[in-house]
Structure 1
């Protein structure tokens, strides 16, 4: 697929084949796509934790699911969780963020997450980016220091969900030229 086909095929998948593991070489290529993502002042303010061991993966899925709201229970089906931990930016990015009142590490992590999901699509895999989870429980399960922020959990696996039509605002609503 070319890049535009990959973009059009990428969706937030919430159904996975729990019996089909993801090949390690595909995960390595996906992580390489994230590792080389651009970041403000080349800060690379991220650390990726791959969880694919079945028992730990189920524990992480429990921390990601909300019993009260009935959210994210599908994550038990996904064979891989990629947790994205925010790391300190380098000096230049940190100072630039203070001066310009922008959270460059979060922007950079968003770019890396896009690389992960697009690379997953290119590998024939589905993915879903999750920000709703019990961060304290995830930190404890994965031995992440208390002062670190777990920003995202990206689940990856072989999707069993059909490709959906994208429902987006029209181009006229979100694009303008030379003025707002």
Structure 2
């Protein structure tokens, strides 16, 4: 269990990638398998992962994530994993209506966590992006207009050293038996 905590401690959002190093296909396959195996409400697995590895396309997708000074680094990432929301199963949809929760978004967040932790375990950096031109990326990659692109995750070898993690004190975010 301590190994997992060390993995979590070392994982960070990397915004500088080594443009001379490609991500090995076997490492990428293990990362994608971790995403595929992520838990989901009622085992709905409401996701599709569109993996962009082509250098020219990756650059274009990266440019489509930048705007207003955001995510300028993404064009240098050798891999972009596009996290697309797919239809949930009926059990998940009904449960979500009853409980007023959209379970697929929670499920996609869990899958994204699996992707970033698996990348870290492979010695790779990652960054989860929520700011992007959805229409442009759909056009570039053939994602149907009816689908929702929820996240873009960059993957590559980090070109910078690890940073000190800044987190709130435990007492501010954890309590037992009452708020």
TM-score by length of 1: 0.97
Structure 1 gap segments, 5+ residues each: none
Equivalent residue, structure 2, for 1:131: 130
Displaced runs of 4+ in structure 1, greater than 3 A? none
The 5-angstrom pairing of residues 84-123 of structure 1 reads: 84-123=83-122
Over aligned residues, Cα RMSD in angstroms? 0.8
Aligned residues: 178
SS at match of 1:173: helix
**Deviation of the 1:77 alpha carbon:** 1.3
> Would you say 1:32 and 2:15 are equivalent positions?
no
Deviation, 1:2, is 1.5
Distance 2:77 2:6 in 1: 24
Q: CA deviation at 1:62?
A: 1.2
3-state SS of the aligned residue for 2:142? coil
TM-score when normalising by structure 2: 0.98
Alignment of structure 1 residues 161-172 onto 2, 5 Å: 161-172=160-171
Which stretch shows the higher mean deviation, 111-120 or 157-166? 157-166
Offset of residue 162 of structure 1? 1.2
- Gaps in structure 2 of 5+ consecutive residues: none
